[in-house]
């Protein structure tokens, strides 16, 4: 019996995006930008069945799709300190971690690009995410210039590294938002991307994200208040797309009196933890 | 006066390659594959002049070209335990680290892809490397499917992670080999890449690299002996392109009685060390 194989996948907070839907799920996805976080997800896989998150049985539709496309069965144990449904790309992280681990456990001999594409397609088909997987595979501060998984998607990045804080007030359903009318989101997202590419820095990323949150009508009152609080104390913050989560650079939320979780930009993309 | 900014760039050992020369240096480079190493190079940059490696003044042509293209002057301090001229991509690492650090120190507002392209062009123009920079920017076990820097080059990777050992017997001049007749190298390199893409695993990478070293006539007698020794004790090894260095997976060299340096595949590409 094969030993379990463990992977780490960083969390990913999208600041802004525009949805790109095509018939081919590998070519579908989003343009946009976000930050990957050193707080992430550990995914262990061994032969067997069932998915367990922090000790409790769950069902994650894209993970089932990953296993189905790879034609394997696995017992998946997930550990994370990040909250579900709050804009950290957890479903994408579990899907990608599952694909990377299954490749080793079952000797599938797929490349990284192929495994990223499997996890990306699973997210697209499940409606649970559009750009987390490709960002989480890369690490850093990914800019999604062209949508989709390899070989179609195209990424760049902001070459910076900073501390990040966040506070989560509750969940938002990615599926519900993505299945609705996203024309306003798309217009705002395309404009934000253009702004960022003209001046690819973290502070421009925050500014473009904030404007996107406003223009896209996705901003909730609690998040708006928290962003205002951070800005009043000289910091910068925006909303995680899609979750009722506010994130800030440096110590922005702590400085504004919030009890925030502290993390940092993760320089490393998804990878096997063992050597 | 700006504070120095420090970057880390992994070492990179190429197992096989085929050279691709075009008029545009951004499109030039190599196809091939290699492993990035957790042993790498720390590059600090501050305003000033001069390059210092492990405390001694040196001149690194591609680094001068990076500074020239970015139109800045910098004092560069490099620390590494890896030997120069021995197939670890040190010139590429210093060039890439310099570009990433200069971007922060001088507020250049370039993206990661743009900085990778600057360092890649500098290596191509200096004749000091063809594919190290794009591999070192990525980390892991990069497969260079299409030559060149972003947006032209295309990479994939072997999603595995293992310990690596190496022994260096001496230097080989990359410039001298690359400026000679490389037709035999190209034929052998294209065949090796095809072999690897059919079965993208670390053991196939080693096998394809060994065959490439033989067919390309780059294998030196000392490296041949060391590879034979490792294989006789059940391990697997090949030659670093281009240096008189043998590298092995796991504890292959130690098991064969060599006093080898131990490192591992680096899951992280080039990045700023500070947060």
How many whole angstroms separate alpha carbon A229 and alpha carbon A233? 7
State ipTM.
0.95
Q: Which residues of B touch A104 (CB under 8 A)?
A: 159-160
According to the model, what pLDDT value does residue A132 have?
A: 98
Q: For residue A231, give the nearest of A253, A250, A203, A201 by alpha carbon.
A: A253
CB A111 to CB B265 under 8 A?
Answer: no
For residue A274, the model assigns a pLDDT of 77
- Provide the shortest C-alpha distance from residue A103 to chain B (in Å): 8
Q: What's the pLDDT score for residue A22?
A: 94
Distance CA B184, CA A58 (A): 55
Q: Residues B13-41: what's their mean pLDDT?
A: 97
**Contact call for A111 and B201, based on CB within 8 A:** no
B17 in Cβ contact with B243 (< 8 Å):
no
- Distance CA(A65)–CA(A224), nearest Å, equals 36
Report the residue from B103, B150, B201 with minimal CB separation from A159: B103
Q: Which residue of A has its CA nearest to B203?
A: A109
* Cβ separation B268–A139 shorter than 8 A: yes
Question: Which residue of chain B has the CA closest to A161?
Answer: B275
- Which residue has tokens 């007698």? B221
Using a CB-CB distance cutoff of 8 angstroms, which residues of chain B are in contact with residue A157? Answer: 111-113
pLDDT of residue A2: 67
Question: B203 pLDDT band (50/70/90 cuts)?
Answer: very high
Mean pLDDT of all residues in B1-7 = 84
Quick: pLDDT tens for B89-131.
999 999 999 999 999 999 999 999 999 999 999 999 999 999 9
Size of interface A-B (CB pairs under 8 A): 89
B188 conformational bin, left if phi > 0, alpha if psi -120 to 50, beta if neither = alpha
pLDDT digits (tens, 9 = 90+) for A209-228: 999 999 988 899 999 999 99
User: CB–CB of B274 and A161 under 8 A?
Assistant: yes
Check B112 against A271: CB less than 8 A apart: no
Within 8 A of A113 by CB-CB distance, chain B residues are 156-157
Of A264, A267, A275, the CB nearest to B161: A275
Contacts of A199 in chain B (CB under 8 A): 109
Q: Which residues of chain A have pLDDT under 50?
A: none
Q: How far, in Å, CA of A233 to CA of B16, rounded?
A: 54
pTM: 0.96
Q: Which of A100, A163, A199 is facing B159, going by the closest CB pair?
A: A100
Nearest of A196, A197, A194 to residue A205 by alpha carbon: A196
Collect all residues from A whose CB is shorter than 8 A from any CB in B: 100, 103-104, 109-115, 139-140, 143, 150-151, 154, 156-163, 197, 199-201, 264-265, 267-269, 271-272, 274-275
CA distance B152 to A26: 20
Give the pLDDT band of residue B1 (cuts 50, 70, 90). Answer: low
User: What confidence score (pLDDT) does residue B39 get?
Assistant: 98
Under a CB-based contact definition with an 8 Å cutoff, are residues B12 and B93 in contact?
yes
| Selection from B133, B149, B139 nearest residue B94 by Cα | B133
Under the banding of pLDDT at 50, 70 and 90, the label for residue B161 is very high
Neighbours of A68 (CB within 10 A): 12
User: Residues of A with CB below 8 A from B100's CB?
Assistant: 159
Q: Which among A265, A212, A202, A271 is positioned nearest to A239, based on CA atoms?
A: A212
What pLDDT, on the 0 to 100 scale, is given for residue B2? 67
| Interface contact B111-A201, CB threshold 8 A | no
Structure tokens at B127: 């004749």
User: Which of A112, A160, A265 to mutate to probe the B interface, most B CBs <10 Å?
Assistant: A112
Q: Which residues of A touch B9 (CB under 8 A)?
A: none
Alpha-carbon distance values, A82 to A163, B124, B146 (Å): 16, 44, 37
């Amino acid at each position: 019996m094969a030993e379990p194989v463990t992977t780490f996948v960083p969390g990913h907070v999208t600041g802004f995006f525009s949805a790109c839907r095509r018939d081919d799920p590998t070519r579908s996805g989003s343009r946009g930008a976000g930050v990957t976080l050193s707080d992430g997800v550990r995914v262990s896989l061994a032969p067997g069945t069932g998915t367990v998150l922090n000790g409790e049985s769950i069902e994650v539709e894209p993970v089932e799709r990953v296993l189905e496309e790879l034609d394997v069965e696995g017992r998946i144990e997930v550990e994370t300190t990040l909250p579900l449904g709050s804009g950290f790309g957890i479903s994408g992280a579990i899907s990608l971690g599952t694909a990377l681990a299954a490749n080793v456990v079952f000797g599938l001999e797929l490349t990284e690009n192929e495994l990223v594409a499997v996890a990306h397609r699973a997210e697209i088909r499940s409606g649970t995410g559009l750009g987390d997987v490709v960002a989480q595979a890369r690490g850093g501060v990914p800019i999604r210039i062209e949508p989709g998984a390899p070989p179609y998607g195209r990424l760049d990045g902001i070459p910076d590294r900073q501390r990040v804080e966040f506070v989560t007030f509750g969940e938002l359903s990615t599926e519900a938002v993505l299945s609705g009318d996203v024309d306003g989101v798309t217009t705002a997202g395309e404009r934000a991307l253009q702004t960022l590419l003209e001046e690819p820095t973290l502070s421009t990323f925050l500014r473009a994200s904030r404007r996107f949150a406003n223009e896209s009508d996705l901003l909730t009152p609690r998040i708006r208040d928290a962003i205002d609080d951070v800005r009043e104390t000289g910091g910068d913050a925006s909303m995680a797309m899609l979750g009722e989560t506010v994130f800030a650079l440096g110590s922005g939320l702590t400085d504004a009196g919030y009890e925030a979780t502290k993390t940092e930009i993760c320089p490393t993309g998804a990878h096997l933890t063992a050597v």
